[in-house]
Structure 1
Amino acid sequence: MKRIILMAVVLLVIHTGSYAQDTTQQVTEGRRNSATQQSRPYVILISIDGFRYDYADKYHAQHLLRLSGAGVRATAMQPSFPTLTFPNHYTLATGMYPSHHGLVDNHFYDRKRDAVYKVGNREAVEDGTWYGGVPLWVLAEKQKMISASYFWVGSESAIQNIRPTYYFRYQEKTGIDQRIQQVVNWLSMPEEQRPHLITFYFPEVDHMGHRYGPETDSVRKAVQFVDAAIGKMTEAVSKLNLPVNFIVVSDHGMQQVSTSNIITLPDTPVLKPLKVAFGHEKVLLYGNNEAEIKAAYDFLKQHEDHYTAYLKKEAPERWHYGQEDVYDRIGDIILLAEPDYAFGMSGKSIPPGHHGFDNNLANMHAIFMAWGPAFKSNTRIGTFENIHVYPLVARILGLDITQPIDGKLEVLEGILK
């Protein structure tokens, strides 16, 4: 009996991710910046998860407003569809739409592998074979430039058998001061070991947005916490007198949803044979044959109630999604909730804050701010797609892009000096 209880505890630890609270730095030994790369500038790419396009003004993010006011600030940055964390962080890292790099959702099914990718599954998250494209840190390392990551989607995986030289497994245990000091420590290393690309991630604003909704004091406090941290990081880094460029982005915005507006999938035999990858804002359904798919789609279309049903092949072209599914991972049927509604389970509550809706919705839009020696001063630009960040970073670092991407340098080239 004791052995059964112990095994249950072990399984609980594994499935809750408690084992992932590893706070130690992971280092790939033996790498060095080439002589050419030692002379390149530096980029710190910061993501604030769930930081909606209007939060900086709305919640008085004084440091971000001041720093981007003296540098570059966009009206907004449009995330790729779906407006979810993993697809968009990996789009920022690769310059490719989710349908092209393979992370098509936070939760999806791969027919060829007969396997499911889900953000809470550490084995899948750390398996580099799920990830297409060439992330910025892989591009850098292949060209003899050292990179570091204090969290970014994909950075824990050996993509093309390469991870950043310095990285951390994702956890939320390490305090912000220690994380900022790690950035300073990286930039204080000898030139041949010093990372020129650093990615850095903040989860706090997204957490509060989900839990309490975007129009709350909790989100305001989270915004100001992150704002203060970025102010502190910028000040600490400036003392090193290095040509460091900061780019601050987010993956998506946040939408208030009535917690009583719950959409439940109908309990019908027509849907039973299909695999379901569930999300509050979007549901993917996978059929075994055309007859199953047609029957399910026809039923769902006839019973549309605060959601829209799409066949994959008929999804809006502007999403660059269904018809461009390189890895065949998108459901045969896509259900997308209206912005004030969310999918849920009967009898279970839903949180008030959501993202994952249509990327044309303003409340799904993200931020883009940048400052440093590479950027023009006092520059304002309009809204642009997040696929264009990748070629911008590559240009600043002097990296050659080695495979086709969706992003285009000319979109943001004008903000560089």
Structure 2
Amino acid sequence: MGLSLFRSKNATMKRILLCLSAVSAALCAPVSAFATEAGRPAPVLLVSIDGFRADYLARGLTPNIARLALDGVGSAGMRPSFPSSTFPNHYTLVTGRYPDHHGIVNNTMRDPARPGAVFKLSDRAAVTDPFWWEGATPLWVSAQRQGKVAATMFWPGSETPIHGVLPDEWLRYDAAMPYSTRVDTVLSWLSREPGRRPDFATLYFEGVDSAGHEHGPDSPQVGKALEDADAAVGRLLDGLQRAGLKDRVNLLIVADHGMAAVDPDHAIELDKRADPNDMDVINSGAVAGVDPKPGKEERVLQALSAPMNHGRCMAKSALPASLHYGGHARVPAIVCIADPGWYFTAKGKFAGKGTIGMHGYDPAAREMNALFVAHGPAFRKGVTLPAFGNVDLYPLMARLVGIHPEPNDGNAATFDAALTPVD
């Protein structure tokens, strides 16, 4: 995407303006029970290692992350929300809403309120259009409205003025930016004096996901990507140690989803099950979304919902309640879900490839389980939590940052056993 554009704002003036526009919220913002300095909560740093499957931690390639789990809080895994894809789940992590509730229902989607418009990751104009994001309020917006400082190092939605608010500090996504530069920038933010230091910050690494897609989750390339991500975490920990912040930052290291190995020949070809002239395939892969052409609804649904091996298609209104999906207008009329290891396509199979990797599957699939590790003054040592849904992370972070949470789908009690006692 070219050179990263660093956006530095006058944080003090911005917070004054935000507080003037929402005085009651700012004055009534709660004081965190985990305050450590000048009455302010310890900073919260949310680190996403995209595509880090929960069981990757057992491969022995990530000693820094493993040590944090042993010295802090680990888990059997964090279940993504459906579909287990990147943008829907990154937005769930910072809003506590299921994709069906916050509106980022897939990496590619349409909205009947904007005929002809398409949201897709390769379209920067669409990705930065507030229209798509304002079905929920991310934590950085709520934090700033309540007098806090927020900074984001690459997070879906953070380049967009959601409800008119951008983070105090943010960077335009640049996949070419070295991990070391990302880490050092975040360390520079956290090293500021209280009041200018972010109360909430994010950090993002994409390499594990990229290697998993291209080569499959069991490939040497994923192993190398895991080592690179762990080295970046090690650099972060060393920097926090030098700054005297190692035990004064609440660090959350998570992933948005896992990864499943896929044989390219394991394709379910939608255009061979229904007439391609009768339907628009909005998205494909582990999950497919199909909108029949007007007047073809019953015909397409009957054809696609016929029994098949390794997958199923159904009207969105018939999706299992456990998926929390299908009510939003952006969800296509027909949703198809493949079994792990299989995928839907309308454009032929992946040609000339060996094993690849995919996600997007039912969150109950073991391969979709995501990483969760927490360490810092708010957390006990040596705790391992059972698997939990990723909607639960938002109310925890709101509590740690010391703000009133927005309405959300999470369970604030999930982490009670992992938090240090409060006098």
Cα distance in 2, alignment partners of residues 397 and 347 from structure 1: 47
Among residues 374, 382, 399, which one is paired with 2:403 in the alignment?
399
- Residue matched to 1:214: 217
Among residues 159, 162, 179, which one is paired with 1:156 in the alignment?
159
- Residue matched to 1:73: 74
Which portions of structure 1, spanning 4 or more consecutive aligned residues, are displaced by more than 4 angstroms? 32-38, 267-271
Structure 1 regions of 5+ residues with no counterpart? 1-19
Give the CA deviation at 1:63: 0.8
Cα distance in 2, alignment partners of residues 139 and 96 from structure 1: 14
Contact 1:59 1:224 in 2 (8 A): no
- Residue matched to 2:286: 281
Structure 2 regions of 5+ residues with no counterpart? 17-25, 33-37
Give the CA deviation at 1:154: 0.6
Cα distance in 1, alignment partners of residues 5 and 356 from structure 2: 35
The 5 A counterparts of 1:345-356 are: 345-346=347-348, 348-349=350-351, 352-356=356-360
- Structure 1-normalised TM-score? 0.90
Find the residue that maps to 2:189 and give its secondary structure.
helix
- Residue matched to 2:107: 106
Q: For residues 269-317 of structure 1, give each alpha carbon's deviation from its aligned partner in whole angstroms, at most 9, with x where no partner exists.
A: 744243321221111112355x522110101123634321111000011
The 5 A counterparts of 1:5-404 are: 20-29=1-10, 30-32=13-15, 39-114=40-115, 115-131=117-133, 132-242=135-245, 243-267=248-272, 270-287=275-292, 289=294, 291-302=295-306, 304-322=308-326, 324-325=327-328, 328-344=329-345, 345-346=347-348, 348-349=350-351, 352-401=356-405, 403-404=406-407
Distance 1:87 1:107, change over 3 A: same
Larger mean Cα displacement after TM superposition, 204-213 or 337-346: 337-346
Cα distance in 2, alignment partners of residues 117 and 160 from structure 1: 18
Q: Please report the RMSD computed on the Cα atoms of aligned residues, expressed in angstroms.
A: 1.9
Q: For residues 347-374 of structure 1, give each alpha carbon's deviation from its aligned partner in whole angstroms, at most 9, with x where no partner exists.
A: 6426611111111100011011000111
Cα distance in 1, alignment partners of residues 274 and 53 from structure 2: 40
Cα distance in 2, alignment partners of residues 354 and 378 from structure 1: 32
Find the residue that maps to 2:14 and give its secondary structure.
coil
Find the residue that maps to 2:305 and give its secondary structure.
helix
Find the residue that maps to 2:288 and give its secondary structure.
strand
Q: For residues 203-222 of structure 1, give each alpha carbon's deviation from its aligned partner in whole angstroms, at most 9, with x where no partner exists.
A: 00001111110111111111
- Residue matched to 1:7: none
- Residue matched to 2:21: none
Give the CA deviation at 1:346: 2.2
Give the CA deviation at 1:32: 4.6
State the percentage of identical aligned residues.
Answer: 34
- Residue matched to 2:35: none
Cα distance in 1, alignment partners of residues 259 and 384 from structure 2: 23
Give the CA deviation at 1:27: 2.1
Give the letter for the 1:178 counterpart: T
Give the letter for the 1:164 counterpart: P
Give the CA deviation at 1:88: 0.5
Contact 2:69 2:373 in 1 (8 A): yes
Contact 2:96 2:395 in 1 (8 A): yes
- Residue matched to 1:8: none
Cα distance in 1, alignment partners of residues 5 and 86 from structure 2: 24
- Structure 2-normalised TM-score? 0.88
Q: For residues 240-276 of structure 1, give each alpha carbon's deviation from its aligned partner in whole angstroms, at most 9, with x where no partner exists.
A: 2342110010000010111222222225774424332
- Residue matched to 1:16: none
Give the letter for the 1:245 counterpart: N
Contact 2:273 2:303 in 1 (8 A): no
Give the number of aligned pairs: 393
Among residues 411, 414, 417, which one is paired with 2:417 in the alignment?
414
Cα distance in 1, alignment partners of residues 304 and 341 from structure 2: 19
Distance 1:409 1:347, change over 3 A: closer
Give the letter for the 1:382 counterpart: P
Give the letter for the 1:66 counterpart: R
Cα distance in 1, alignment partners of residues 391 and 350 from structure 2: 36
Give the CA deviation at 1:151: 0.5
